[in-house]
């Protein structure tokens, strides 16, 4: 177990910490229900093994019995430079873990990616992540952390949508991509490698996400379904397509960084 960090995830503690002063208004029975719904016993059965980083990702895929078919491995650069790997985000968990495994093994663990601050509570994933939180001190720290990681010798994996895919116009697809990955890649001279991950969540997930949007709810309730979505994906096969690197010099000033981000999004869906 050398170098490992065995863990039992205390979901109630995470929820209370996340809710802050409002935690006292959350019924205990609701927390107990969500703990069962999230398959916490199954998840903790894996976390207690204590895997960290790329080893965590690789063994998580095995634990779930997930198979992966990858097309375009020859497009992964081997010139020693640092790149930005930009992918769609259909699943919200398995896609991040799978790409962390593939890129981490390819680049000797030198891979970082933006990670929901809730996932940062998982010790095995935390070393690979940059926490995202739109409120509080982490929100103020995010620009600095982004600068540091893009200027580092790590490869950067990013899901520019920020959220996992939704059902839009009858299709499962990302919302419009944010421009930050283009801007930061331009500033640090990183070419961009497009990646398409084929997959989808359950119809229930998309119904909840749609109602959250219609009701204009600030809290992303659909996110609470992701542990269940991950577990019910046991045994599935996912396909990944890796495109050729896009030279950052080709993203000239004829378009804004936001427009280039949407163009790259379209390239991903055309892979």
- pLDDT per position as a tens digit, 104-152: 999 999 999 888 767 788 889 888 988 776 544 555 677 788 888 899 9
Residue 1: its pLDDT value, please?
44
Sheet holding 111-116, edge to edge: 67-71, 237-242, 192-198, 84-87, 155-158, 111-116, 129-132
Mean pLDDT value across residues 79-101: 94
Q: Is the pLDDT of residue 218 over 70?
A: no
Give the mean model confidence (pLDDT) for residues 35-58.
91
pLDDT at 2 over 60: no
Query: Of residues 87 and 209, which shows the higher confidence score?
Result: 87
The rounded radius of gyration (Å) of the Cα atoms in the chain is 18
Longest CA span, the chain: 56
Q: What is the 3-state secondary structure (H, E, C) of the chain?
A: CCCCCCCCCCHHHHHHHHHHHHHHHCCHHHHHHHHHHCCHHHHHHHHCCCCCCHHHHHHHHHHHCCEEEEECHHHCCCCCCCCEEEECCCCCCHHHHHHHHHHHHHCCCCEEEEEECCHHHCCCCHHHEEEECCCHHHHHHHHHHHHHHHCCCCEEEECCCCCCCEEECCEEECCCCCCHHHHHHHHHCCCEEEEEEECCCCHHHHHHHHHHHHCCCCCCHHHHHHHHHHHCCCCCEEEEEECCCECHHHCCCCCCHHHHHHHHHHHHHHC
pLDDT in tens, 253-266: 999 999 999 999 99
- What is the per-residue pLDDT for 79? 92
The predicted pLDDT at position 115 comes to: 82
Which tokens hold the place of 216? Answer: 């204009």
Share of the chain above pLDDT 70, in %: 93
> 29 pLDDT exceeds 70?
yes
Question: Domains in the chain, ordered, with CATH?
Answer: 64-270 (3.40.1130.10)
| Of 191, 171, 174, nearest in space to 248 by CA | 191
Q: What is the mean pLDDT of the chain?
A: 88
pLDDT at position 138 is: 54
The pTM score is 0.90
Residue 30 has pLDDT above 90, yes or no: no
**For residue 135, what pLDDT is reported?**
46
Q: Give the residue-averaged pLDDT of 164-185.
A: 93
Q: What band does 228 get if pLDDT is binned at 50, 70 and 90?
A: confident
CA distance 12 to 18: 10
d(CA 177, CA 260): 10
């Amino acid at each position: 177990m050398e170098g490992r960090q065995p863990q039992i995830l205390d979901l109630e503690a995470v929820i209370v910490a996340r809710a802050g002063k409002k935690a006292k208004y959350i019924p205990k029975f609701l927390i107990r229900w969500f703990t069962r719904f999230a398959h916490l016993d199954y998840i903790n059965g894996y976390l207690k093994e204590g895997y960290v980083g790329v080893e965590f990702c690789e063994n998580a895929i095995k634990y779930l019995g997930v198979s992966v078919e990858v097309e375009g491995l020859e497009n992964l650069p081997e010139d020693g430079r640092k790149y930005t790997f930009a992918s769609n985000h259909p699943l919200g968990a398995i896609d991040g873990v799978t790409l962390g495994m593939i890129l981490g093994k390819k680049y000797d663990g030198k891979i970082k990616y933006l990670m929901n601050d809730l996932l940062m509570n998982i010790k095995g994933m935390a070393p690979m992540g940059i926490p995202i939180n739109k409120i509080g001190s982490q929100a103020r720290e995010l620009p600095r952390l982004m600068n540091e990681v893009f200027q580092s010798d790590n490869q950067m994996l990013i899901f520019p949508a920020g959220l996992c895919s939704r059902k839009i116009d009858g299709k499962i697809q990302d919302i419009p991509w944010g421009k930050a990955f283009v801007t930061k890649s331009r500033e640090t001279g990183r070419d961009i490698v497009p990646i398409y991950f084929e997959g989808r969540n359950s119809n229930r997930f998309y119904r909840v996400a749609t109602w959250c949007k219609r009701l204009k709810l600030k809290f992303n309730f659909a996110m609470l379904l992701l542990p269940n979505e991950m577990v019910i994906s046991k045994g599935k096969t996912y396909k990944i397509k890796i495109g050729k690197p896009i030279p950052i010099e080709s993203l000239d000033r004829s378009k804004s960084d936001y427009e280039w981000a949407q163009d790259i999004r379209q390239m991903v869906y055309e892979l």
